[in-house]
């Protein structure tokens, strides 16, 4: 099997890393020696600079009810002005997901088998963190089936395979340059060798938002500083900048696991 085939195989087969492997980062140096290191992540971000909330505000159930009500507004707007409806809903998705839904999930414990439906009550695996927060925003999907897929398949639930962006064997600096050359500020899904999460692109910087097996909880951190972000392959799918996906949310179109 070729090296590229092996990399694709890793994304197709593996989901979140197992409990026994957590907090392990593999580094290969020039002589081919492999070193496994435990790297704690201690990083504070400027919420004002990012224009985000790091602490939950309001009732979670009320937030979800408000989103469900607001969706009807975008559906009505789409009948008279589709472009404005999609653009406004894209901004709404970005804001509500990052500022209202996700803050309630920060600190929720990670576990390889975690699938809680309630933030900070139980445990959540990386795939379930993504599928559950998208489900709670109102996307019509089965959060169990999505979370049980490999990263590439999860990405294909959000965007056609031909529109995904895949980067292999790149340094972080090269990855950041490539991502910023094809994407604008926004929230994106990313599938790694054995992990998934969101990437926030903001002012040319990349932030990794995920249920972290390195920290045992849901965190947001600079992707460059995250040991969990280390991977041989990165598969990106657009979320807030994905007009077709936003339209699917407006009209409650089912997001299904691709058949092939």
Confidence of residue 50 (pLDDT cuts 50, 70, 90): very high
Confidence of residue 259 (pLDDT cuts 50, 70, 90): confident
Quick: pLDDT tens for 209-228: 999 999 999 999 999 999 99
Q: Is the pLDDT of residue 8 over 50?
A: no
The residue written with tokens 């292999």 in the block is 168
Reading the block at residue 151, the tokens are 């990263």
Reading the block at residue 47, the tokens are 């919420």
Mean pLDDT of 113-129: 98
Mean pLDDT of 105-110: 98
Q: Is the pLDDT of residue 33 over 90?
A: no
Phi, psi of 154 (to 5 degrees): -60, -45
Q: Where are the domains of the chain?
A: 3-250
How high is the mean pLDDT of the chain? 88
Max CA-CA distance within the chain? 63
pTM of the model: 0.86
Strands (E), 194-249: 196-202, 205-212, 217-222, 233-238
Q: Is the pLDDT of residue 32 over 60?
A: no
Mean pLDDT of 69-82: 98
pLDDT at site 44: 73
pLDDT at site 17: 60
Q: Is the pLDDT of residue 73 over 50?
A: yes
How far apart are the C-alpha atoms of 203 and 199, rounded to whole Å? 13
Quick: pLDDT tens for 156-214: 999 999 999 999 999 999 999 999 999 999 999 999 999 999 999 999 999 999 999 99
CATH class belonging to 3-250: alpha beta
pLDDT at site 41: 36
Mean pLDDT of 146-150: 97
Reading the block at residue 58, the tokens are 């309001």
Range scoring the smallest mean pLDDT among 23-32, 217-226, 250-259: 23-32
* CA proximity to 140, closest of 152, 156, 158: 158
């Amino acid at each position: 099997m070729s090296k590229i085939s092996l990399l694709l195989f890793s994304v197709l087969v593996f989901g979140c890393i197992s409990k026994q492997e957590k907090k392990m980062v593999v580094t290969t140096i020039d002589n081919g020696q492999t070193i496994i290191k435990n790297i704690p992540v201690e990083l504070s971000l400027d919420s004002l600079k990012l224009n985000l909330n790091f602490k939950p505000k309001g009732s979670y159930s009320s937030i979800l009810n408000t989103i469900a009500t607001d969706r009807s507004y975008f559906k009505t707007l789409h009948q008279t002005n589709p472009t404005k409806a999609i653009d406004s809903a894209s901004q709404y998705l970005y804001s509500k997901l990052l500022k209202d839904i996700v803050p309630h999930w920060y600190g929720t414990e990670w576990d390889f088998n975690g699938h809680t439906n309630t933030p900070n009550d139980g445990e959540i695996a990386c795939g379930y963190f993504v599928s559950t927060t998208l489900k709670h925003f109102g996307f019509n999907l089965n959060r169990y089936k999505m979370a049980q897929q490999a990263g590439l398949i999860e990405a294909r639930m959000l965007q056609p395979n031909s529109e995904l962006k895949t980067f292999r064997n790149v340094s972080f600096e090269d990855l950041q340059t490539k991502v910023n050359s094809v994407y604008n500020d926004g929230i994106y899904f990313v599938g790694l060798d054995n992990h998934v999460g969101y990437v926030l692109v903001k002012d040319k910087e990349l932030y990794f938002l995920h249920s972290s097996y390195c920290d045992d909880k849901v965190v947001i951190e600079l992707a460059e500083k995250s040991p969990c972000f280390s991977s041989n392959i990165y598969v990106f799918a657009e979320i807030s900048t994905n007009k077709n996906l936003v339209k699917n949310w407006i009209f409650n179109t089912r997001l299904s696991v691709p058949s092939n």
